[in-house]
Structures are given as C-alpha cells and as structure tokens.
C-alpha cells in the first residue's frame, strides 16, 4: 500500500485545516506523499483526492505540472547537475559525463542499488559557484570530478545521512501549530512564545525506492 | 422594445414621453467604424460576431466561461488609451469602446497565432476525421499566413489513446484550447480529464485506469476545434462533405434535445447537438448521441411475421395486416372491447400516438397506456406545468423523482448549472444519493416509500419554509423507485403543492414521447380505481380476461417493473400483436409481428416533457418494408368492419404523415396551435396547450418491516438492457450489470464480501444477485439498477401492486 500512512493522514488533516478551502492543501499533501514514498504513487494521488474532495485526475493535473514531483521511483538521492550557461562554460558537460561514468548510468537513470538518480537540470541560481549540482535539492558548489567522486562515496557509505535526508523529505523539522495558536485563535498582543516545532517522522517506507 | 410605449400609455400619471427610456444596460461601442449597441457585460467577441464581424477563435464557446487559452481572437480595442491588441473573449464592452477586428495589426496578430498553433499541429488533414469541418483548418485558410517559418520536427505521441470507451485522443493534434476539460469541469461536473505536465509537454489526460467515463463525453468530440478528440462510433466512417444532414429531435428520453441527424449513403452515421436555448444548450448525452447504431443494427425487424405451426415466419404486409385486423375483429365479435388492451406508443411520434389513440377509441377498449407501470398518473400533466427554462431559473427547485442524471441527463445538466451558478437552490427528496445530491442545498434522505413524511417535516423546517416562500418554486416530479407504488410520490407531490401552492411542476417522465402519447389518446381513460392502465391491463391478461394484447413498441417483459406480472400476462393473453423495431422478449411470444420504422426513418413531430412540440426528420429509408406506427394504426382503423374509422373521421383519408399532423392540430384541442406552419417557423418548437387536472387522492400506508428486512429501491441507469442501448455496438457494454447494492457496513451484517452472490427474498419470489458495497445507499436499503444484463433479475421480485417491496438478504 502506498496510500498515506495513518501517521501521515493525521498530518494531512492538520495541513488541510490550515486552509479555508480543502483543495488548497493539494500541493502540501503531494509533498507529504513524496516524503513518505520517495515519489508520488498513484494510490497516494487517489488518497489525496479523497482527502481534499477532488478527482484523482485533478491531483495528477496539478502535481504533474511540477518537475520536482516524481511519478516513478527514484533513488534515495537525486543528483541534479546544472547544465545551464555559467555551469556549461565551466565544464558542466564534462562533469555530467564524468558522473555518468562514475555511477554507471545515463543521465535520467538510477543506479542498480537504487541509491542515486542522476539528472541534468536547468539553472540552480548559483552561477557564481559554477559548476554546481544539487543532491536532493541541497547545493554543492564548484564541483570538481574528485569532489563528485568523494560525494558519491560519502553518500554510499552513509556519511551524509544526517545532512541530506532521503528524496522527498523537504526539511528535518516540521512546523506544527497547535489549535490554540492558530491564526485568529489568540489576539496578536497575547501571543507568547514562538510556533511549536515537532521533528519530522518519516514512516519506514515499504514500496518506495528510498531504501 | 415595442412594448415600451404600451406600458407608458397604461400609466396616465406619467407625462407622455416622446422617446422610450434609454436602456440602462445599453453600451454604445464602435465596431469596425460603425456604431453598435451592446449590452453591459457582453464580451467583445460576442458583440463582434453578433454584428457580422467574424473573429477567429478556438477556445471561446458561448456556453462556457472564457479562458483566453488560444489567443486566436486578438482584435484591436481602444478604451481611451489608444488601440491595443486584446483577446476579445476576455474583455467586456465598455462605453465608447472602439473595436477593430480587421485592422492590419489585428490581422497580423491572428496570422501569427495560426502560425504558432500550427508549429506542432500535424498537417494530416487528409486522414483526419475533422478534415472538412475543422475550425483550425477553416481558419488557417481564412486568416492564416499560408506558410510556416517553422522547419523543426513536430511533436509525436502515441496515437490514438482511448480516454473512454467512446472517445479517442490524438494528442499531437491538440491545441490546448481547454474546451473539453472545461466542459468536463463546468458543464458535466465530471472532472476526469485535465491538463497534465507543463510547457511543451502539456497534454490532456485522464488519471491512469480512470477513464473519462462521463455520460456526456460525446460533447467534447463535438466541441473539439481540431481532430484531437474523435468518437469511436464515427471514427473513419465518413467525410464531412459526404454527410447529408437534417435537423431533428432526440427521442431517447423526454427532454427532447435538438439534434442534427447526419447520414451518408442512406446510413445513419452521426448525431450532433444543436443549441436550442430553451432545451439543451447544444449538449447531448452519450446514449442519445450514439444509439443511432440500434437503427442500423442487423437485428432489426424488416418484415412482418405471422405465427404458424412452424413458429414465426415472414409474411407479406397484406397477409399480416389481414390477420392483425382479423384478430381484432374476432375478439370484438366474441368477447367485446374489454378483452383487448393496447400498450405503448411513447416510443414513436405524436402522429403514431394519435393514430393509435384513435384506433383505441374506435375499438373502444378500456385498457390503454403509454407507460408500463413505471411512471406517474397522467394527471401529473394537468398540473401547472413548468418549462425547463423556468425550472433552471427558479429560486427553488424541488426534486421528487428519479436520479435525473440517469434518466433525463440533459435536464440534469440544466439543473446542475442552475445550482452551480447560484440561480437556484435545490431541495432533493430521495431514498439514495443521486447525481444532483452534491449540488443540492438540502438533500433529504427518506425511507423508500415514505417521502410524504419527509416532505412534511421539511416544510415544517423554518429555513426550508423561508426558502420556498422566497421566490418561484418548480417541482420536478417523476417516479423515484420502480419497487414502490406511485402513490407515495403522488402523496408527497400533493403535500409539496399544498405547502407551495404557486409552485409549477415539471413532469420527469422518461420515455421519449410519453407526454405526447399521454396527451394524444394513449393515456388510460378510466376513473381512479378502475383506470385501465398498464398494470390493470397486465393483471387482467394474467387472469385470462384479455384475449388480444396489442404492444405498440412496448416490451413489458423487460420494461414493466413487475416482470413476473408481465410474464403471466403475456402467457395469459390469448393472442398478441407486437409492433416493434427490434425483436424483443415480447415479440418472440407474439402471434403477429409488424415491423416498425425507427427513429430517423420517419418524420413527424414529438412532444417533450414541457409539452414542447418539435419536428422529427426522416433521414434514411426504412429497413426492409417496415412502416411507421401511425400507418399501421390507420390501415387497421380502416379495416375493422363496424368499428372502422367513418368517412368523416380525421384519419379517414390520410395519405402522408403531414395529413396526420394536420389532423392532430384540427382535432386535438391541446395541439390546436401546433400547425405545420408554426413548427416550420420556429426550430425551438411550439408549446402545446396544457390540460388542467388535480392529482388523484391517494392514501399511503407505509408498512412497517421487521429488522431483517431491507427495503428495495430500483432505478433505471442511463445504460440498461433497453433496445436502444442493447442494440448499439458502442453502448451495449457500458451497462453496469445486475447487482444488489447495500451500504458497505451492511455487507458485514449480511456476512458477505463484495461481489459474492446473495439471495434476495421478497414476499413473492427470490432473486440471486452479486452484492456490492455502495456508500450512496443508506443502511437498511438495498438498491438495484433496473433491466441490466447479468445472471440475476431484480425485476422478478418487484410486486407492482404492493406499496413497497421488502426483501431479506441471505447468504448462499
């Protein structure tokens, strides 16, 4: 089953409650499902459709607009090598080629152990730090071939485990707003303390690719 | 504006005004140099097109909201800041606006848009079904640049992909105008197709494994401005320039949508919706759109047949008519008119119904009915009748009837639109969830058969009472459940009318021309209690009191809710004459079978549920030697000896269907206005006059039931075992199939899982059906679709004479 887990349904309901219209919670819920499984499964889209009272087709239509939602299994780490102008001038083509050789997959593919997916990408807004890449959307700057090899080795050995969460997990912390601190619940003058944060709890995945 | 001076004249207090008041909503604009008066809120494109300035467009559709997707309708507009290019479907007129649809800049912009749209559109017009009637092709010729500067490879997609059983999609032809997806969302409410992906990869798509199974999917094919969406039944069947067409009216249900019937080489090939403002707004349901296949079916009855010792054998018309008229005369001589019953007539035209009504009069039978115990008493038509427009603009719509989405689909679209656009509030009384439940302001669930109590407690509710009092009320009344007596609905309707005495009533009877048939002589004539309706006739036949049963396009074995009664009736009637287009269970038992002309093979008129009379077109020649029903009735009427039509009978010397139409307007008072001249003058038809009647007094006793019982609700679905769908290749597999639906929690109570077969035991019989868990069904109710293919038959356990049918569900 790759519907949302009971734990995540509880989070989903909280997210839905933040919006005046249920449907507005659609994209946060797609993120949540990608966090659970590493990619957005069909069952999860059906489940989200039930939760926000739209058709599964509407979920697909909205989610597929965004390239960072994946609809097929991807590796635990998605490596995006920038190939746009500044990076291209400073050797992004060679870097991508090197990455393909190092990982043994063509761009767009996933390594046989399911750990790393390699993708070419458009500008990542770090042109002064070219050539750059992202691992699960976390930047690496001025990447040399040796840097790349080192990074792959570190990913494989689990050294970066604490630094880079599995694909789909946006942050290590999730904001949680208790009911008594929601918008309108307390007068702004009476607010004491900041929002309450709870640590993210990604349920162990059963079907997704992030092993 | 001709009525304005009259109004002024009626008000002597006001000084005489030489000029009529200026219309406060009028907006003066300049269109291509000439002054034009528009209405506030009009779109520039609508004003331009309405004043003879064609603006090329693809996404704009007058029955849907504007989205400005295709950018093709760019025109120059000056609102005081100088001429600027604007998409004319996205801006409304403002005072002193200057619009130029033909300026060099506008022309260049339109040319440029065509070139961009064709950047990826394949030039496969010679093999494309749309070629010849394609807005993109036509407008490329009319306003396109003629050549393209694009030399790059075009997009390629797998082609075609079926997005439903009826509709295929060629994605590379799509220009992303958003018409089909907008239709699915705004008009049909089935948001099953959407734009997916982004940029150059944007494409219309369904969710995987969830096809575009909308009852209205065929409309997307009709409004697609390119050849991206094609209908499976028509694909590669004809080229538009080979088609001949004639305007007609769909008689699949009683909404009476306007259509064009298109044929090539004397074969019906396609129906398209025609935008009739008071009726269908251009839309059709898929059943009405595609059931022309039944007319072309190889199973049609082409010759009359007579039963001999060797079974039914083909006969000549003279032989068959002689034996039919012989049977009538013999029965009249031996048993009298009370031993003859005539059922049916709602399938055909007004002319058919009138001729059969006249024949029934000549025979003087006490038994005649155009409904088969599945409708409501004919007095319904004598209430203050609403039009569809009145219903769709009423401040309150009360639903006391079947699921309109299943039985009268385009009426469903009109009422859904009324609720979605916030013109109307819907109050629904229903035993189960229906298509309109989610759009209803109040959707009241009641125990099947107990709608009167539900209506009475609703009226007592302050909110509902205030709503009913706040404006006009239209009650849509039909038969909500084939497994309960119609008395329950009559009583609830009466209760509602008592609470809202000014309310109008829209009869939601399903059969194509049921209103015409009931108004023109095929309604039972007896007094309440001894009506001589279909159930009375079948009961009499079952008791051996009927010697001759005449079925005019009626198949009681599959169309009467109480199949058991129908079966006993057809066995008990000594002789049966069946007039039908296709062989049915009932024609198999007939002694004389007369082959009837079908839809598209005969002209005439038909009456919709509002009483609106519109024309039917004969587009193709009849198969074999089949004849229209009216012709058969007239010929029989002339050959009954003492009972024959006299020399001064209105049908005594009719030679064509036009003579029958004239005879109707000459002799039927309600149809006096419905002359051929009037019909020719207005494609929206002519309203027939309305009788006045009061609902019969009924007493409803809702029997208690013990806790093991489930109360049965049986409804028609859009796709069922009826001839029109069963004989249409493309529709036959769409029927959901026989099953017993219960609330998922009740599955546990019965102790079965979904899909297992269970026994449904009623007081009279047992049916074995697979059970399905369905959230739309309340607990304690078992819902079953009527006349469905499958092994079990729910119709066996319905008792037509009981107030309700309670069943016990047992595991096998």
- pLDDT tens for each residue of A156-167: 999 998 889 999
**Residue where a domain stops, chosen among B450, B477, B504:** B504
According to the model, what pLDDT value does residue A97 have?
A: 97
Region A74-97: mean pLDDT is: 96
Using a pLDDT cut of 70, give the percent of chain B over it.
98
Angle formed at CA A153 by CA A150 and CA A154, multiple of 5 degrees:
85
Within this chain, do residues B680 and B806 fall inside the same structural domain, yes or no?
no
Contact B192 A57 (CB under 8 A): yes
Confidence tier at B457 by pLDDT (50, 70, 90): very high
Region B536-558: mean pLDDT is: 95
Instruction: Please indicate, yes or no, if residue B785 is contained in any of the structural domains.
Output: yes
CATH of the domain at B414: 3.40.50
Instruction: Please indicate, yes or no, if residue B322 is contained in any of the structural domains.
Output: yes
Q: Are strands B442-445 and B425-430 parallel, antiparallel or unpaired?
A: parallel
Per-residue CA distances from B252 to A20, B274, B337, B606 (Å): 43, 15, 32, 11
Within this chain, do residues B38 and B109 fall inside the same structural domain, yes or no?
yes
Per-residue CA distances from B787 to B133, B223, B482, B720, B784 (Å): 39, 33, 11, 6, 9
User: Using CA atoms, how far apart are residues B810 and B812, in angstroms rounded to an integer?
Assistant: 6
User: Using CA atoms, how far apart are residues B645 and B462, in angstroms rounded to an integer?
Assistant: 59
- A203 touches B at CB < 8 Å: no
Mutate to test the interface with A, among B180, B186, B196, B213 (most CBs of A within 10 A): B196
Among B12-16, B387-391, B409-413, B763-767, name the one with the lowest average pLDDT: B12-16
CA distance B114 to chain A (A): 26
Which of A45, A46, A64 has its CB closest to that of B197? A64
Tokens describing residue A135: 């691992």
CB contact at 8 A, B738 and B769: yes
Decide: helix, strand or coil at residue A16.
helix
Q: Which residue of chain A has the CA closest to B192?
A: A57
Per-residue CA distances from B496 to B19, B382, B473, B474 (Å): 47, 16, 10, 10
Exposed, middle or buried: residue A191 (CB in 10 Å: 0-12, 13-18, 19+)?
Answer: exposed
Find tokens 């396009």 and name the residue. B553
CB contact at 8 A, B460 and B475: no
CA distance A168 to chain B (A): 19
Q: Which residue of chain A has the CA closest to B206?
A: A57
Mutate to test the interface with B, among A61, A62, A122 (most CBs of B within 10 A): A61
- A55 touches B at CB < 8 Å: yes
CA atoms within 13 A on the CB side of B72: 25
Per-residue CA distances from B711 to B453, B592, B807 (Å): 17, 40, 6
Confidence tier at B353 by pLDDT (50, 70, 90): very high
Contact A58 B194 (CB under 8 A): yes
CB contact at 8 A, B247 and B258: yes
Residue A178: pLDDT over 80: no
Contact B210 A56 (CB under 8 A): yes
Residue B344: pLDDT over 50: yes
Within this chain, do residues B724 and B666 fall inside the same structural domain, yes or no?
no
CATH of the domain at B83: 3.10.20.740
CB contact at 8 A, B110 and B103: no
- pLDDT tens for each residue of B83-92: 999 999 999 9
Q: Is the peptide bond before A131 cis (omega within 30 degrees of 0)?
A: yes
The full length of chain A comes to: 211
- A60 touches B at CB < 8 Å: yes
Within this chain, do residues B522 and B575 fall inside the same structural domain, yes or no?
yes
Residue B17: pLDDT over 80: no
Within this chain, do residues B486 and B532 fall inside the same structural domain, yes or no?
no
Which of B197, B198, B207 has its CB closest to that of A57? B207
CA distance B194 to chain A (A): 6
Residues in A touching B208 (Cβ below 8 Å): 42, 60
The full length of chain B comes to: 812
Instruction: Please indicate, yes or no, if residue B135 is contained in any of the structural domains.
Output: no
Contact A60 B196 (CB under 8 A): yes
How many contacts does A have with B, using Cβ atoms within 8 A? 40
According to the model, what pLDDT value does residue A200 have?
A: 55
Contact A54 B191 (CB under 8 A): yes
According to the model, what pLDDT value does residue A194 have?
A: 67
CA-based R_g, chain B, Å:
28
Max intra-chain CA distance, chain A: 60
Within this chain, do residues B491 and B519 fall inside the same structural domain, yes or no?
no
Residue B245: pLDDT over 50: yes
What are the domain boundaries of chain A?
A: 6-71+171-199, 77-157
- Answer positive or negative: Cα dihedral of A72, A75, A78, A83: negative
User: Using CA atoms, how far apart are residues B32 and B35, in angstroms rounded to an integer?
Assistant: 8
Decide: helix, strand or coil at residue B617.
coil
Question: Considering chain A, what is the average pLDDT of its residues?
Answer: 88
CB contact at 8 A, B429 and B694: no
- pLDDT tens for each residue of A17-70: 888 899 999 999 999 999 999 999 999 999 999 999 999 999 999 999 999 999
Residue B6: pLDDT over 80: no
Within this chain, do residues B462 and B598 fall inside the same structural domain, yes or no?
no
Which segments of chain A are extended strands (E)? 77-82, 116-121, 133-135, 138-140, 173-176, 196-199
Within this chain, do residues B661 and B594 fall inside the same structural domain, yes or no?
yes
From A94, A97, A82, A96, select the one nearest A127 (Cα to Cα).
A82
Contact B191 A58 (CB under 8 A): yes
According to the model, what pLDDT value does residue B764 have?
A: 87
- pLDDT tens for each residue of B640-673: 988 999 999 999 989 999 999 999 999 999 999 9
Q: Which residues are CB-neighbours of A48 under 8 A, at least 6 positions away?
A: A4, A12, A26, A29, A30, A33, A59
Instruction: Please indicate, yes or no, if residue B177 is contained in any of the structural domains.
Output: no
- pLDDT tens for each residue of B476-501: 999 999 999 999 999 999 999 999 99
Within this chain, do residues B528 and B620 fall inside the same structural domain, yes or no?
yes
CATH of the domain at B675: 3.40.50.740
**Residue where a domain stops, chosen among B504, B525, B549:** B504
Confidence tier at A205 by pLDDT (50, 70, 90): very low
Residue B12: pLDDT over 70: no
Residue B504: pLDDT over 90: yes
Contact A64 B196 (CB under 8 A): yes
According to the model, what pLDDT value does residue A196 have?
A: 63
Among A188-197, B146-155, B217-226, name the one with the lowest average pLDDT: A188-197
Residue B111: pLDDT over 80: yes
From B388, B359, B652, select the one nearest B515 (Cα to Cα).
B388
Helix H or strand E encompassing B742: strand B740-742
Per-residue CA distances from A107 to A111, A120, B18, B49, B199 (Å): 10, 6, 81, 52, 21
Residue B8: pLDDT over 50: no
Residues in A touching B217 (Cβ below 8 Å): none
Q: How many domains does chain B have?
A: 4
Instruction: Please indicate, yes or no, if residue B20 is contained in any of the structural domains.
Output: no
Residues in A touching B206 (Cβ below 8 Å): 57
Question: Considering chain B, what is the average pLDDT of its residues?
Answer: 94
User: Using CA atoms, how far apart are residues B218 and B582, in angstroms rounded to an integer?
Assistant: 25
Rounded to two decimals, the pTM is 0.93
Instruction: Please indicate, yes or no, if residue B651 is contained in any of the structural domains.
Output: yes
User: Using CA atoms, how far apart are residues B260 and B264, in angstroms rounded to an integer?
Assistant: 13
B710, β-bridge pairs? B807
CA distance A151 to chain B (A): 32
* CATH architecture observed for domain A77-157: 3-Layer(aba) Sandwich (3.40)
Concatenate the DSSP letters of all residues of A116-176 into one string: EEEEEES--S-GGG-S-EEETTEEE-S--HHHHHHHHHHHHHTTTTTTSPPTT---SEEEE
CB contact at 8 A, B370 and B517: yes
Within this chain, do residues B499 and B400 fall inside the same structural domain, yes or no?
yes
- pLDDT tens for each residue of A2-20: 899 999 999 999 899 888 8
Within this chain, do residues B662 and B755 fall inside the same structural domain, yes or no?
no
Angle formed at CA B606 by CA B509 and CA B506, multiple of 5 degrees:
30
- H and E: helices and strands count for chain A: 7, 6
Which of A42, A46, A57 has its CB closest to that of B194? A57
Q: Which residue of chain A has the CA closest to B207?
A: A57
According to the model, what pLDDT value does residue B192 have?
A: 97
User: Using CA atoms, how far apart are residues B129 and B754, in angstroms rounded to an integer?
Assistant: 43
CA atoms within 13 A on the CB side of B357: 28
Within this chain, do residues B494 and B641 fall inside the same structural domain, yes or no?
no
- pLDDT tens for each residue of B731-776: 999 999 999 999 999 999 899 999 999 999 998 899 999 999 999 9
Q: Which residues are CB-neighbours of B311 under 8 A, at least 6 positions away?
A: none
User: Using CA atoms, how far apart are residues B627 and B601, in angstroms rounded to an integer?
Assistant: 9
CB contact at 8 A, A114 and A76: yes
Q: Are strands B340-344 and B548-552 parallel, antiparallel or unpaired?
A: parallel
Contact B207 A55 (CB under 8 A): yes
CB contact at 8 A, B405 and B390: no
Cβ-based neighbour number of residue B621 at 10 Å = 11
Q: Domain range holding B768?
A: 709-811
Contact A57 B198 (CB under 8 A): no
According to the model, what pLDDT value does residue B10 have?
A: 47
Which of A45, A57, A59 has its CB closest to that of B193? A57
Decide: helix, strand or coil at residue B576.
strand
CB contact at 8 A, A77 and A115: yes
CA distance A30 to chain B (A): 15
Region B278-303: mean pLDDT is: 96
Tokens describing residue A60: 């697909």
Contact residues, chain B to chain A, C-beta under 8 Å: 191-198, 205-210
B162, β-bridge pairs? B168
Which of B205, B206, B208 has its CB closest to that of A42? B208
User: Using CA atoms, how far apart are residues A56 and B446, in angstroms rounded to an integer?
Assistant: 31
Instruction: Please indicate, yes or no, if residue B697 is contained in any of the structural domains.
Output: no
Domain A6-71+171-199 has what CATH class? mainly alpha
**Residue where a domain stops, chosen among B100, B117, B134:** B117
Residues in B touching A58 (Cβ below 8 Å): 191, 194
Contact B198 A42 (CB under 8 A): no
According to the model, what pLDDT value does residue A176 have?
A: 73
According to the model, what pLDDT value does residue B2 have?
A: 42
Per-residue CA distances from B298 to A8, B47, B138, B295, B719 (Å): 57, 49, 37, 9, 20
Backbone angles phi, psi at B129, to 5 degrees: -60, -25
Q: What is the dihedral of CA B284, B288, B292, B295, to 10 degrees?
A: -150
CB contact at 8 A, A82 and A143: no
Contact A60 B207 (CB under 8 A): yes
User: Using CA atoms, how far apart are residues B94 and A129, in angstroms rounded to an integer?
Assistant: 53
Which of A46, A61, A67 has its CB closest to that of B194? A61
According to the model, what pLDDT value does residue A192 have?
A: 72
Which of B197, B198, B206 has its CB closest to that of A57? B206
Instruction: Please indicate, yes or no, if residue B368 is contained in any of the structural domains.
Output: yes
According to the model, what pLDDT value does residue B4 have?
A: 43
Residues in A touching B207 (Cβ below 8 Å): 42, 45-46, 55-57, 59-60
- pLDDT tens for each residue of B773-782: 999 999 999 9
Which of B197, B198, B210 has its CB closest to that of A57? B210
């Amino acid at each position: 089953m790759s519907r949302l887990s009971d734990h995540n349904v509880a989070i989903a309901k909280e997210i839905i409650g933040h919006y005046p219209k249920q449907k507005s919670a659609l994209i946060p819920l797609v993120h949540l499902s990608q966090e659970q499984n590493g990619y957005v499964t069909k069952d999860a889209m059906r489940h989200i459709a039930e939760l926000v009272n739209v058709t599964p087709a509407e979920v697909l239509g909205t989610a597929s607009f965004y390239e960072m939602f994946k609809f097929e299994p991807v590796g635990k780490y998605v490596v995006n090598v920038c190939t746009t102008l500044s990076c291209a001038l400073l050797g992004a083509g060679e870097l991508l080629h090197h990455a393909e050789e190092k990982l043994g997959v063509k761009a767009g593919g996933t390594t046989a152990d399911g750990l790393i997916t390699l993708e070419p990408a458009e500008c990542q807004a770090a042109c002064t730090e070219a050539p750059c890449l992202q691992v699960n959307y976390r930047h690496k700057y001025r990447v040399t071939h040796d840097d790349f090899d080192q990074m792959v080795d570190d990913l494989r050995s689990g050294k970066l485990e604490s630094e880079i969460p599995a694909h789909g997990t946006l942050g290590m912390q999730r904001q949680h707003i208790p009911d008594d601190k929601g918008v309108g619940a307390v007068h702004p003058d009476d607010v004491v303390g900041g929002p309450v944060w709870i640590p993210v709890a990604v349920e162990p995945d059963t079907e997704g690719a992030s092993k | 504006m001709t009525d304005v001076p009259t109004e002024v004249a009626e008000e002597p207090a006001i000084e005489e005004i030489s000029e009529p008041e200026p219309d406060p909503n009028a907006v003066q604009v300049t269109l291509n140099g000439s002054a034009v008066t528009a209405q506030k809120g009009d779109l520039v494109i609508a004003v331009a097109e309405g004043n003879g300035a064609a603006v090329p467009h693809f996404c704009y559709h007058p029955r849907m909201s504007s989205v400005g997707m295709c950018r093709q309708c760019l025109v120059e507009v000056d609102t005081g800041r100088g001429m600027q290019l604007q998409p004319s479907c996205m801006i409304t007129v403002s005072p002193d606006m200057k619009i130029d649809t033909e300026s060099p800049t506008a022309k260049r912009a339109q040319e440029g848009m065509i070139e961009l749209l064709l950047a990826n559109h394949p030039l496969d017009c010679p093999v494309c079904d749309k070629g010849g009637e394609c807005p993109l092709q036509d407008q490329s010729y009319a306003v396109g640049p003629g050549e393209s500067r694009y030399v790059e490879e075009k997009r390629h997609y797998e082609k075609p992909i079926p997005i439903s059983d009826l509709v295929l999609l060629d994605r590379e032809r799509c220009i992303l105008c958003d018409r089909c997806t907008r239709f699915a969302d705004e008009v049909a409410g089935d948001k099953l197709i959407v734009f997916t992906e982004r940029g150059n990869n944007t494409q219309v798509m369904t969710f995987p494994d969830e096809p575009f199974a909308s009852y209205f999917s065929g409309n997307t094919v009709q409004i697609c401005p390119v050849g991206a969406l094609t209908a499976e039944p028509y694909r590669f069947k004809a080229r538009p320039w080979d088609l001949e067409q004639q305007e007609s009216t769909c008689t699949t249900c009683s909404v009476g949508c306007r259509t064009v019937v298109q044929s090539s080489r004397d074969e019906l090939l396609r129906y398209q919706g025609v935008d009739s403002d008071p009726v269908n707004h251009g839309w059709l349901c898929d059943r009405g759109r595609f059931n022309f296949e039944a007319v072309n079916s190889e199973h049609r009855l082409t010759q009359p047949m007579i039963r001999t010792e060797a079974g039914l054998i083909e006969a000549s018309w003279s032989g068959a008519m002689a034996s039919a008229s012989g049977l009538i005369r013999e029965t009249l001589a031996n048993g009298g008119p009370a031993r003859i019953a005539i059922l049916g007539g709602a399938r055909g035209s007004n002319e058919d119904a009138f001729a059969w009504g006249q024949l029934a009069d000549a025979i003087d039978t006490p038994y005649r009915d155009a409904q088969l115990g599945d409708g409501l008493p004919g007095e319904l038509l004598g209430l203050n009748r609403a039009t569809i427009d009145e219903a769709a603009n009423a401040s309150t719509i009360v639903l006391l009837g079947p699921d309109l989405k299943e039985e009268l689909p385009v009426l469903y679209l009109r009422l859904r639109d009324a609720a979605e656009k916030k013109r109307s509030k819907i109050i629904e009384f229903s035993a189960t969830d229906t298509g309109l439940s989610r759009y209803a302001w109040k959707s009241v669930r009641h125990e099947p058969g107990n709608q009167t109590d539900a209506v009475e407690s609703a009226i007592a509710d302050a909110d509902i009472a205030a709503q009913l009092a706040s404006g006009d009320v239209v009650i849509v009344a039909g038969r909500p459940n084939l497994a309960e007596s119609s008395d329950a609905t009559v009583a609830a309707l009466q209760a509602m009318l008592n609470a809202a005495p000014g309310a109008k009533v829209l009869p939601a009877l399903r059969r194509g021309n049921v209103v015409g048939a009931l108004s023109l002589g095929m309604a039972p004539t007896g007094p309440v209690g001894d009506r001589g309706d279909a159930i009375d006739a079948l009961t009499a036949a079952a008791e051996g009191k009927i010697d001759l049963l005449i079925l005019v396009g009626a198949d009681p074995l599959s169309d009467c809710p109480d199949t058991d009664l129908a079966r006993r009736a057809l066995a008990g009637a000594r002789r049966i004459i069946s007039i039908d287009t296709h062989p049915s269970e009932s024609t198999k038992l007939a002694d004389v079978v007369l082959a009837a002309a079908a839809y598209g093979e005969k002209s005439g008129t038909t009456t919709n549920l509002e009483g609106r009379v519109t024309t039917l077109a004969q587009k193709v020649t009849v198969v074999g030697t089949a004849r229209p029903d009216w012709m058969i009735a007239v010929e029989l009427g002339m050959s009954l000896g003492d009972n024959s039509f006299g020399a001064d009978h209105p049908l005594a010397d009719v030679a064509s269907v036009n003579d029958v139409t004239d005879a109707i307007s000459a002799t039927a008072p309600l149809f006096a206005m419905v002359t051929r001249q009037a019909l020719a003058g207005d494609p929206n038809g002519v309203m027939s006059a309305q009788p006045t009647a009061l609902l019969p007094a009924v007493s409803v006793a809702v029997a208690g039931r013990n806790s093991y019982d489930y109360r049965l609700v049986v409804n028609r679905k859009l796709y069922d075992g009826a001839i029109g769908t069963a004989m249409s290749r493309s529709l036959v597999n769409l029927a959901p199939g026989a099953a017993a639906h219960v609330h998922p929690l009740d599955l546990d109570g019965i102790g079965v899982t979904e899909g297992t077969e269970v026994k449904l035991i009623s007081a009279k019989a047992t049916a074995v059906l697979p059970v399905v868990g369905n959230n739309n069904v309340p607990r304690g109710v078992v819902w079953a679709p009527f006349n469905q293919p499958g092994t079990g038959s729910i119709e066996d356990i319905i008792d037509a004479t009981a107030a309700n049918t309670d069943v016990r569900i047992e595991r096998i």
